[in-house]
Amino acid sequence: MNHDILKERQNATFDVEKLTNILDGGPEKTKRRREIESMVLSDPDFKEEDPNFLSRSERYEQAVRKSAQMILKLREYGIADPEEIICYKSCVHPGRPEPLDLHLGMFLPTLLNQATPEQMDRFFMPAWNLEIIGTYAQTEMGHGTHLRGLETTATYDPATQQFVLNSPTVSSIKWWPGGLGKTSNHAIVLAQLHTQGNCHGLHAFIVPIRDMNTHDPLPGIVVGDIGPKFGFSEVDNGFLKMDNVRIPRENMLMKYAKVEPDGTYVKPPSAKLTYGTMVFIRSMIVGESARALAKSTTIAIRYSAVRHQSEIRTGEPEPQILDYQTQQYKLFPLLATAYAFTFVGQYMNQTYHRITGDINQGNFSELPELHALSAGLKAFTTWTANAAIEVCRMSCGGHGYSRSSALPDIYVEFTPTCTYEGENTVMMLQTARYLVKSYRQAKAGQQLSGIVSYLNETEHRRIQAQPASARPTVVDINDLASLVEVYKLRAATLVDLAAKSIQQELQNRKSQEDAWNNSAIDLVRASDAHCHYVVVKLFTEKLGEIGDTAIHSVLSTLALLYTLHGITENSGDFLLAGLLNVPQILQISLRIKELLSQLRPNAVALVDAFDIHDKKLKSVLGRYDGNVYENMFEWARRSPLNSSEVHDSFHKYLKPLRSKL
């Protein structure tokens, strides 16, 4: 064990294990998580070569091998609880998506939700046993977020009782679905349903794409991998072009909507049911943001404790870089953010499950708010984490660029969350739509409940050119409750500004739609402020649940840092709204410096509490034992370019060059 990092651990003021339990949701959960982790991490069948040393094709192959093993072992050990499966998978493919993700996460669940009993008989067990391997083909080359724009057609032919599927244009080629390129032999294809001369919009069809036995593409099918990407190298995101591909009528997923043998279309009873899945996935992504940040800060903070560089005081030994104020200012707010997002993720998960219960009993009342919240928080947390990973990486100096640090991989595997499952700007605008709607309801005298209830109060507030310092100042910058209030009022102010912008545009005779588009900047800002408020609020509320004094103390410091840092980063908003005055902003800057010093002795312990196993972290910089340099050297020597002392190119190009010059 490196002596610096040992010393850091000795200086911690709280019990790391207890905090780990809080993060896991209880000591039993910690225990079970570790059991599952050790099942995988000690299993020789899951040994792997560092993917960074492999070609794309080798990476894909290694992932397929491990996924196949994983399926076998999950069955063997009888692990069936979804959370435990996710935990197991996250050890088999640490930090990386894999070729069967869509089969397990979309194909099977979609069958469960939308297949008829007859279809379940035909497809589910073969899919469960991996004879059928499926994916979910929605996105097209020219169409993503806007589903109505999808061009793929499924035209019903009553003569043969078949659907004829076509990709009528280049832009209609299915593009991006994971596992589509090489792995799957079936796809659930989303297509515009045409029957009896009418188009009935998007429906889902089960389309065989490869021969079950030979795995060759079937007639009319052009299928393949979409090529290398930023990350996701293990996954064969694919394309699918269909040319008069015929499938039996019974391959349309017909639990809800139907097409009768004669071509008569039967509408689904309700459209609200698919709503829930999106909310669930977006809520999950909030948790992923937290995990990506936890990993990144673990690496950056541990390395900053081990790394000595430059000098603070002349003549003294090089200090740990964690002693530099600028390094603390880079990393500790992100550490605080990792905690904040962890708790927000827990909240979203709990709320989702609570509301799902309500929904099953026919009570949809909380769904719109959760839907709006999950959209905004998905965007807010992924954008924040995305930028934060890079700050962590760059805080490690040159070594952050080495793949051995793991930070480049964390970034490229995480960054797609900003785009998939709803592009972030579009998500922010969805939340804004809910906020503006609520705002108008409040204006119209309706009493709002839930998280947006603060909009009831906006009537009394107004942006004015009034000097902030002239107002009564009641904010206590050391009191979280008081600061949550300030964030709330900031959100209220920005929602008000956005709504006024729309109003102004309408008064200038713009259409509703143009007024909306011409206010989009303000709307995104309002959503952002709303989400920021929610995060601050949930972090603060979480403190109320913490019994252990030492942990309560350090988490309170983190929460305060998170909150005050957010204010300095957005000080213009708070000044503009007259919520804080200039002396307070200056005071907050000083207070932040104090909080950084206060957190310094606990920094390593706070990342230790995330309890990310070295084999999951896969970072030489972030090793628990702090023995960075010898391991980096060892890693480098295993690099493929070092498999021979002299590279062929010397004999082929460099040496012959001499005689020509």
Contacts with a copy of itself in 24-83 (CB under 8 A)?
Answer: 52-53, 55-57, 60-61, 64-65, 67-68, 71-72, 75
Q: Binding to a copy of itself (CB under 8 A): which residues in 328-347?
A: 329-330
With tokens 């989400």, the residue in question is 531
DSSP state of 455: G
Q: Does 649 bind a copy of itself (CB under 8 A)?
A: yes
Q: How far is CA 357 from the centre of its chain?
A: 24
Q: Which residues contact 406 (CB under 8 A, 6 or more apart)?
A: 95, 295, 299, 617, 618, 619, 620, 621, 622
Task: State the Cα–Cα distance between residues 288 and 429, nearest whole angstrom.
Answer: 22
Both tokens assigned to 602: 């606990």
- By three-state DSSP, how is residue 474 classified? coil
Task: State the Cα–Cα distance between residues 382 and 388, nearest whole angstrom.
Answer: 10
- By three-state DSSP, how is residue 265 classified? strand
Q: Does 632 bind a copy of itself (CB under 8 A)?
A: yes
326 is in an annotated binding site: no
DSSP result, 168-225: -SGGGSEE--TTTTTT-SEEEEEEEEEETTEEEEEEEEEEE-B-TTT-PBPTTEEEEE
178 is in an annotated binding site: yes
Binding flags for a copy of itself, 480-519, as an x/- string (CB under 8 A): -----------------x-------------x-xx-xxxx
Q: Which is nearer to a copy of itself, 72 or 112 (CB)?
A: 72
Exposed e or buried b per residue across 577-609, where buried means at least 16 C-beta atoms within 10 angstroms of its C-beta: bbbbbeebbeebeebbeebbebbbebbbbbbbb
Q: Identify the active-site residue in 8, 234, 369, 421.
A: 421
Amino acid at 228: P
Q: Which is nearer to a copy of itself, 25 or 416 (CB)?
A: 416
Q: Which is nearer to a copy of itself, 31 or 593 (CB)?
A: 593
Task: State the Cα–Cα distance between residues 216 and 214, nearest whole angstrom.
Answer: 5
Q: Report the residue from 264, 270, 449, 466 that binds a copy of itself according to the rule CB under 8 A.
A: 466
**Smallest gap from residue 383 Cβ to a copy of itself (A):** 9
Q: Does 635 bind a copy of itself (CB under 8 A)?
A: yes
Q: Which residues contact 471 (CB under 8 A, 6 or more apart)?
A: 578, 581
Q: Which is nearer to a copy of itself, 311 or 457 (CB)?
A: 311
Both tokens assigned to 92: 């088999």
**Smallest gap from residue 197 Cβ to a copy of itself (A):** 21
Binding flags for a copy of itself, 576-615, as an x/- string (CB under 8 A): x-x--xxx-xx--x--xx----------------------
Task: State the Cα–Cα distance between residues 167 and 414, nearest whole angstrom.
Answer: 31
Per the DSSP assignment, residues forming a β-bridge with 153 are 166, 192
Q: Does 646 bind a copy of itself (CB under 8 A)?
A: yes
Q: Report the residue from 85, 218, 226, 546 that binds a copy of itself according to the rule CB under 8 A.
A: 226
Q: Which helix (H) or strand (E) covers residue 32, if one does?
A: helix 27-41
Residue 421 appears among annotated catalytic residues? yes
Per the DSSP assignment, residues forming a β-bridge with 187 are 135, 207
Which of the stretches 36-44, 105-113, 135-143, 474-482 binds a copy of itself when contact is defined by CB under 8 A? 135-143
Q: Report the residue from 280, 364, 420, 624 that binds a copy of itself according to the rule CB under 8 A.
A: 420
Q: Does 7 bind a copy of itself (CB under 8 A)?
A: no
> CA angle at residue 298 from 55 to 340, to 5 degrees?
115
Closest to 493 in 3D by CA, of 453, 460, 446: 460
Q: Which is nearer to a copy of itself, 162 or 167 (CB)?
A: 167
**Smallest gap from residue 516 Cβ to a copy of itself (A):** 8
Q: Does 143 bind a copy of itself (CB under 8 A)?
A: yes
Q: Which is nearer to a copy of itself, 91 or 410 (CB)?
A: 410
Q: Does 199 bind a copy of itself (CB under 8 A)?
A: no
Q: Report the residue from 7, 11, 118, 230 that binds a copy of itself according to the rule CB under 8 A.
A: 230
Task: State the Cα–Cα distance between residues 135 and 178, nearest whole angstrom.
Answer: 7
Long-range contacts of 10-15 (CB under 8 A, 24+ apart): 11/601, 11/602, 11/605, 12/601, 12/602, 12/604, 12/605, 13/550, 13/553, 13/554, 13/601, 13/602, 13/605, 14/548, 14/550, 14/551, 14/553, 14/554, 14/602, 14/605, 15/548, 15/550, 15/551
Q: Which is nearer to a copy of itself, 90 or 571 (CB)?
A: 571
Helices 520-543, 480-507: axis angle to 10 degrees equals 160
Which of the stretches 14-22, 216-224, 262-270, 293-301 binds a copy of itself when contact is defined by CB under 8 A? 216-224
Task: State the Cα–Cα distance between residues 548 and 513, nearest whole angstrom.
Answer: 52
Q: Report the residue from 320, 342, 570, 602 that binds a copy of itself according to the rule CB under 8 A.
A: 570
With tokens 């490869």, the residue in question is 210
Cβ atoms 181, 188 nearer than 8 A: no
Q: Does 224 bind a copy of itself (CB under 8 A)?
A: yes
Which of the stretches 16-24, 280-288, 305-313, 482-490 binds a copy of itself when contact is defined by CB under 8 A? 305-313
Q: Does 229 bind a copy of itself (CB under 8 A)?
A: yes
Count residues binding a copy of itself (CB under 8 A): 157
Q: Within 13 Å, how many C-alpha atoms sit on residue 617's CB side?
A: 24
Q: Report the residue from 312, 453, 476, 508 that binds a copy of itself according to the rule CB under 8 A.
A: 312
Q: Which is nearer to a copy of itself, 323 or 457 (CB)?
A: 323
Q: Binding to a copy of itself (CB under 8 A): which residues in 243-302?
A: none
Q: Which is nearer to a copy of itself, 468 or 609 (CB)?
A: 468
**Smallest gap from residue 265 Cβ to a copy of itself (A):** 22
Q: Report the residue from 137, 290, 418, 531 that binds a copy of itself according to the rule CB under 8 A.
A: 418
Q: Within 13 Å, how many C-alpha atoms sit on residue 641's CB side?
A: 5
Q: What does each C-alpha distance from 129 to 103, 108, 132, 189, 427 come to in angstroms?
A: 11, 11, 7, 21, 37
Q: Does 545 bind a copy of itself (CB under 8 A)?
A: no
**Smallest gap from residue 575 Cβ to a copy of itself (A):** 4
**Smallest gap from residue 543 Cβ to a copy of itself (A):** 26
Task: State the Cα–Cα distance between residues 440 and 321, nearest whole angstrom.
Answer: 51
Task: State the Cα–Cα distance between residues 137 and 205, nearest whole angstrom.
Answer: 10
Q: Report the residue from 13, 196, 469, 478 that binds a copy of itself according to the rule CB under 8 A.
A: 469
Q: Report the residue from 2, 113, 116, 145 that binds a copy of itself according to the rule CB under 8 A.
A: 145
Q: Which is nearer to a copy of itself, 2 or 356 (CB)?
A: 2
**Smallest gap from residue 494 Cβ to a copy of itself (A):** 11
Q: Does 3 bind a copy of itself (CB under 8 A)?
A: no
Binding site for FAD, residues?
139, 178
Active site residues: 421
Binding site, residues?
139, 178
